[in-house]
Amino acid sequence: MAATKLDASSTVAALRRSFEGGLTRPLGWRRAQLLALKDLLRHGEDELIDAMRADLGKPTVESRLTDLSFVAAEIDVMLRHLDAWASPERVRVPFAQRPGQATIIREPLGVALVIAPWNYPVHLLLLPMAAAVAAGNCVVGKPSEISPATSAALARLAERHLDPQAVAIVEGGPEEAEMLLEQRFDKIFYTGNGRVGRIVMEAAARHLTPVTLELGGKSPVLVDADADIDVAARRIAWGKFLNAGQTCVAPDYALVHERVERRLVDALARTLRTFYGEDPKRSRDYARIVNQQHFERLSRLLAATSGTIACGGEHDKAQRYFAPTVVSEVLPDDPLMDDEIFGPILPVLRVGDMDEAVQHVSSRGKPLALYVFSASKSSVDRILERTSSGTAGVNLTVQQLAIPGLPFGGVGPSGMGAYHGRHGFEAFSHRRAVFSKPTQLDPPVQYPPYTKIKEWILQKML
Ligand code: NAD
């Protein structure tokens, strides 16, 4: 159901009434909704897997691994730690302020808006919504219109499983999102591209609403001369071609030491044959490009490169199939190096050493992820020290997301704020500072008139 203007304001008003009435504050309610979200995932599993296959040709195993089970596992972490996260946190009181008790109380912000993209359409909508609920907020979720089957399935399932007084899913595209953004929210959590991220932040500024922006960018993978090349090829190929390259933290391009570049390119080609067979089009384990517009964008990019297609390159418009493709001999000014590729094309650039790779990375905006493959700890440390990124992986790709204790978010143009595990709870909470004092003792030393003796005592105490 698409929202009308009246729907957007009345939807938010109804949720605000629920929030102000205190519905979502009790930990019991939050726990019940988290369990309801798990039920939604369990009972809706087939429906969601079918929907993601219709939208993205997503393989069942990937739908389970990166959408359904991923969110369920994070909800388990929330359930396990909710009491501790929501408990007041005592902080030290300096001598001059004693006696007294200082605490930080996590309070819910109010009504939150979550706007999600299409590439992991269940994960990127439900995980922030779960964090909002765990922190005691009401929440509106807006799935992406670009994955319409999943959007419709999520709306149906939410209606069946979640508390309509506190949780709403509003389907639609930019128009509906803009209508929602006209409303006053207490938190906006947006995942998607940076152009829309700017629109969201401008809209949020009108109400001074805090934002978390989970954006993208060109995430590099650096491969040093001493890296284990077979392992690197497998881990890079998995992270890059998962979901046909439509992954925000996929390695976008590779900067490879010249001594191992040829070996890595050959190993990638071999690995891709092992993963997807001689004809990946027939593999059940390889996804499709989400729509014709993205398919054409990728076709144009590949046509424009002056690099050498080392493997892949085939594409079929009717099936929105784009082969896993590795392009070698790519130069820094190649069209493949302009914007985030967000598809199954891996440009490989040759570098003389890792310092050259670092210079290349530092000359661009800070990426969402940076990956290093190297056997040398000092080389890894040197690279991490001289670059910045939202997250980093050493001898791996993408898997840093699976550690709930690690914050997941960007820096600079790749975003602001973070979530996962406790960090998600914090993203939807206000840390309220509370200091309380007993009344039995009330020495007059701090009150005017400030006599010489009081001044002396105050100086001594501070
Ligand atoms: P998208 O086109 O689905 O857009 C994201 C959301 O923004 C959708 O819900 C859409 O309806 C909404 N939207 C579109 N135009 C809008 C407007 N004018 N005003 C308000 N809302 C609007 O997804 P996308 O942007 O193509 O997603 C891909 C991008 O997202 C890539 O850059 C990728 O790296 C990034 N991404 C980041 C993460 C992360 O966690 N950091 C995860 C996934 C994707």
The per-residue pLDDT for range 346-392, each reduced to its tens digit, is 999 999 999 999 999 999 999 999 999 999 999 999 999 999 999 99
Q: What type of residue is 57? A: G
Cis-peptide into 449, omega within 30 deg: yes
Active-site entry in 74, 171, 176, 248: 248
Q: What type of residue is 101? A: Q
175 lines ligand 1 (CB under 6 A): no
Indicate the helix (H) or strand (E) that contains 369.
strand 369-373
**What is the Å distance from ligand 1's center to 355 Cα?**
33
Strand partners, 105: 432
Active site residue 314: no
Q: Which backbone phi and psi does 113 adopt, to 5 degrees? A: -120, 130
Sequence-separated (6 or more) residues with CB below 8 Å from residue 428: 108, 109, 112, 131, 132, 134, 135, 137, 187, 189
**What is the Å distance from ligand 1's center to 38 Cα?**
25
Give the CA distances from residue 149 to residues 17, 31, 47, 76, 407, in Å, rounded to whole numbers and listed in that order.
Answer: 31, 29, 9, 27, 30
pLDDT tens, residue by residue, 403-424: 999 999 999 999 999 999 999 9
The preferred substitution site among 169, 181, 215 for testing ligand 1, maximizing ligand atoms within 8 Å of CB, is 215
pLDDT tens, residue by residue, 89-141: 999 999 889 999 999 999 999 999 999 999 999 999 999 999 999 999 999 99
* All structural domains of the chain: 5-215+412-434 (3.40.605.10), 220-402 (3.40.309.10)
Of 292, 228, 301, 216, nearest in space to 260 by CA:
228
- Can you tell me which atom of ligand 1 is nearest the CA of 248? 34
Of 395, 402, 60, nearest in space to 251 by CA:
395
Mean pLDDT, rounded, of the chain: 96
As a whole number of angstroms, the distance between CA 405 and CA 423 comes to 8
**What is the Å distance from ligand 1's center to 220 Cα?**
21
Tokens, residue 363: 């000359």
pLDDT tens, residue by residue, 39-92: 999 999 999 999 999 999 999 999 999 999 999 999 999 999 999 999 999 999
pTM of the model: 0.96
Active site residue 311: no
Query: Closest residue (by CA) to atom 1 of ligand 1?
Result: 117
**What is the Å distance from ligand 1's center to 301 Cα?**
20
Strand partners, 345: 325
- Can you tell me which atom of ligand 1 is nearest the CA of 340? 32
Cβ atoms of 127 and 154 closer than 8 Å? no
**What is the Å distance from ligand 1's center to 248 Cα?**
10
As a whole number of angstroms, the distance between CA 223 and CA 269 comes to 16
Per-residue pLDDT at 2: 45
Cβ atoms of 157 and 149 closer than 8 Å? no
**What is the Å distance from ligand 1's center to 50 Cα?**
22
pLDDT bin (cut points 50, 70, 90) of residue 461 is confident
Cβ atoms of 187 and 203 closer than 8 Å? no
343 lines ligand 1 (CB under 6 A): no
Cis-peptide into 121, omega within 30 deg: no
Three-state DSSP at 263 gives: helix
% of the chain beyond a pLDDT of 70: 99
Per-residue pLDDT at 391: 98
As a whole number of angstroms, the distance between CA 396 and CA 250 comes to 11
As a whole number of angstroms, the distance between CA 241 and CA 276 comes to 10
As a whole number of angstroms, the distance between CA 216 and CA 248 comes to 6
Angle between helices 45-56 and 27-43 (to 10 degrees): 60
Q: Are strands 167-169 and 138-142 parallel, antiparallel or unpaired?
A: parallel
Cβ atoms of 244 and 288 closer than 8 Å? yes
49 lines ligand 1 (CB under 6 A): no
Of 15, 269, 315, 1, nearest in space to 143 by CA:
1
Q: What is the mean pLDDT of residues 3-17?
A: 82
Active-site entry in 62, 74, 171, 214: 214
Per-residue pLDDT at 3: 42
215 lines ligand 1 (CB under 6 A): yes
Per-residue pLDDT at 7: 84
